[in-house]
Amino acid sequence: MNPKRTQQISEEVRRAISDVIQNKLKDPRVPDIVSVSRVDVTNDLSFAKVYISFFTNEIEEAMQGINSSKGFIKKELSRMVKLRAMPELIFIHDDSIERGLEMNRLINEVNHGNRRDS
């Protein structure tokens, strides 16, 4: 499959999964604020790696909620995105937001330390 087409499908799947999780998923383990940061669909559309960030400290519990809702998410996705075959969803915790916040905190700490030294 054309790499550009695969990229378009990945983005469409990302938007649809994000919508399902935000608006239709009722699992109490999944926090209200969830970010689907990226989706990588294989060329043959058999798998989709879904990278998810959570704004909670209960990441393991949130991932269990997402994984146990995989069938529901896939069913809703098939209604929203018309594909020959729906890819198998693989959810992966994306900690890039947490790492970014930690880096920001460290930078602020260093900057405040430099102001006191001057």
Distance CA(110)–CA(17), nearest Å, equals: 39
What's the pLDDT tens digit per position in 73-85? 999 999 999 988 8
Question: How much is the pLDDT for 11?
Answer: 94
Closest among 1, 22, 15 to 50, alpha carbons compared: 15
pLDDT of residue 10: 94
The stretches of 24-95 forming alpha helices (DSSP H) are 59-68, 70-80
Q: Give the pLDDT confidence of 81-114 residue by residue, as tens digits.
A: 998 888 999 999 988 777 777 888 889 888 887 6
pTM above 0.85, yes or no: no
What digits encode the pLDDT tens for the residues 6-34?
899 999 999 999 999 999 999 999 988 88
Percent of the residues in the chain that have a pLDDT greater than 70, as a whole number: 96
Q: Which amino acid is at 106?
A: L
